[in-house]
Amino acid sequence: MQLVFASNNQNKIKEVQLLLPESIKVLSLEDIGCFEDIPETADTIEGNAILKADYVTQKFGYNCFADDTGLEVAALNGEPGVYSARYAGEQKDANDNMDKLLENLKGKSNRSAQFKTVIALNLNDTQILFTGIIEGKIITEKIGTNGFGYDPIFVADGYDKTFAELPIDEKSQISHRGLAVKQLVAFLK
């Protein structure tokens, strides 16, 4: 089976492909000739996943799945949430985003946070959503070089290393995206 993953983020694609059985071949947006930025204008994580999946299905005619992820920080009323990728501006720079988040958390004792991923699957004219959430906390400095996004400042509950310190295969087993992808895989079987 071939499924388009509505992403050109090679880190995400690698992470997801590790979790899928060999019988499912993932195609990127580039693989299907989609080079435009798909608008992410919804005000929820679910909404953005649906927008991206629908865009690919309607414009290119493929069965596909799309995800959207947000980091929700308790002390900041759920920020950055749906705006996680562009928290510090439209340049979507991970270091700028982390710096802004760390600055906004200065002096706050509650550093609990959760990563939330929603996957929208469009398969044979049906849409199904899968949600993965991992609880954790935001530390005070960036540690680690693996991963991407907020990984260097997020430590999952039960762990003493940031997502950026974990090998990709270990992170993908426990991460929010990993949990959502496992639901997707179970459904596809």
Catalytic sites, residue numbers: 68
With contact defined as beta carbons under 8 Å apart, do 154 and 138 qualify?
A: yes
The angle formed by the CA atoms of residues 102, 115 and 82, to the nearest 5 degrees, is 80
Q: Give, to the nearest 10 degrees, the angle between helix 10-19 and helix 176-188.
A: 50
In this structure, are strands 80-81 and 25-27 parallel, antiparallel, or unpaired? unpaired
Tell me which DSSP letter residue 24 carries: S
Strand locations in 56-140 (E): 64-73, 80-81, 112-123, 126-138
What number of CA atoms fall less than 13 Å from residue 86's CA on the CB side?
A: 8
